[in-house]
Amino acid sequence: MHSRCRVPALCRRNFLNQEVTILLTFIIAVLLWPLLASSTALAQSSGAVTPLRFLYPGASGSWVVPWAAKEGGYFSTEGLDVEFVRVGGSTRIVAIMLSGNAPMINVGGTAAVGAIGSGSDAVIIAASYTGFFFHLMARPNVTQPADLIGKRAGMTTFGSTSDVLVRLALQKYGLDLKKDITVVQLGGQAEGFAALHAGFVEVMPLTSPLYLQAKKAGMKELLNFSELGVEDIGGAVVTTRAYLKQQRAVVVRFMRAFLRATARYKSDKAFGKALIAKYGQIKDEEILEETWKESSSLMQNVPRPSLKAVQFAMDTTLKGKAALKPESFVDTSVLDELVRTGFVDSLTK
């Protein structure tokens, strides 16, 4: 039962105050509802951060653009939380991606071409470089190709770019790969550098900054692969056609960050050197300077994979599959969209 009000005038005043409060609350709710609804919808559409695991081979100028995108905050701007995982050897990285454990990767393009040519769903969507970063480094005792007979040559993994290049170099020197020298896989460039330094192998293809570190440690540069007159699919960004179709918006956001990072790295030397120092754990100023200089000068503003380079990779890894066309290994539709809409031009203004 309700208690009876003993002061009628006061009770009427309290009742009226309650009614006014309810009415005002209702009016405010009606007026603010569109704003609250739109804010909620906006939060639901843009507030969620997309996690993305991204694999890369090692600390090299070849893989610096994703680092720049992360450290520069460009991935965050695009609503991406990118987890970097280092895996030695491009062929291993491609295999991990195809197993479903990472949707996008950075690899040497040769490994991707091998996988695609074998019928996998992989596809190359970008490549930072068309020039080779690799230098064939040798132990100090190697003074001529004959010194390599009966010895071991190193590379990262079978089917990788370093595998193709070391075999080309040895053939160039007239060595029989079945009789004169043994080619061994070492997992990654960091492991290759260690094996070369320890004398486990006599030669190893390395990129900056490791080839510069090898030089300072007394190793010899036998060959600069950029002098071969062929092109590379360097710093390749690879995904699967299924992921590109199903998560195209995520790939677009990734590439927007990638392009912003490219522009920043090429124009901001201090920023670039700091990245190399951090991810390569390098303090030597000369090595930092030379690594940034080489990588920034070779880096493409628009990272289109070279079809000439794809053809070279096909010729060296997919013998007997001449029916395949270089165009079938790449999908530049995301890059084309970002160029067509003016996004790329906006980065240089």
CATH of domain 50-131+231-346: 3.40.190.10
Where does the chain have alpha helices with state H? Answer: 8-46, 64-71, 74-77, 90-98, 109-117, 161-172, 189-198, 210-216, 241-246, 248-267, 269-280, 285-298, 307-317, 333-340, 343-346
Spatial CA neighbour of 292 closest among 305, 304, 280 = 280
Count CB neighbours of 152 within 10 A. Answer: 17
Structure tokens at 199: 């004398």
Where exactly are the structural domains of the chain? 50-131+231-346, 135-228
**303 prior amide bond cis, ω within 30:** no
Beta bridge partner(s), residue 152? 182
CATH of domain 135-228: 3.40.190.10
C-alpha to C-alpha distance for 216 and 277, rounded to whole angstroms: 17
Beta bridge partner(s), residue 37? none
Same fold, 50-131+231-346 and 135-228: yes
C-alpha to C-alpha distance for 90 and 107, rounded to whole angstroms: 5
- Between the alpha carbon of residue 297 and those of residues 119, 179, 202, 265, 339, the distances in Å are 35, 40, 30, 11, 21
Instruction: State if pTM tops 0.85.
Output: no
C-alpha to C-alpha distance for 272 and 262, rounded to whole angstroms: 10
Length of the chain: 349
Spatial CA neighbour of 238 closest among 303, 150, 143 = 303
CA 242, 243, 244, 245 dihedral sign is positive
Strand order through the sheet with 122-129: 80-86, 50-56, 104-107, 234-240, 122-129
C-alpha to C-alpha distance for 81 and 237, rounded to whole angstroms: 17
Let me know if 349 is exposed, middle or buried by CB neighbors in 10 A (0-12, 13-18, 19+): exposed
What is the Cα Rg of the chain in Å?
28
| Residue 177 · residue 167 · CB < 8 Å | yes
Q: What is the pLDDT along the chain (349 residues), one digit of tens a residue?
A: 444 444 444 334 443 344 433 333 333 333 433 333 333 333 334 468 999 999 999 888 889 999 999 999 999 999 999 999 999 889 999 999 999 999 999 999 999 999 999 999 999 999 999 988 899 999 999 988 899 999 999 999 898 899 999 999 998 899 998 899 999 999 889 999 999 999 999 999 999 999 999 999 999 999 999 888 889 999 999 999 999 999 999 999 999 999 999 999 999 999 999 999 999 999 999 999 999 999 999 999 999 999 999 999 999 888 766 678 999 999 999 999 999 999 999 997 7
Query: CA 78 from chain center: how many Å?
Result: 16
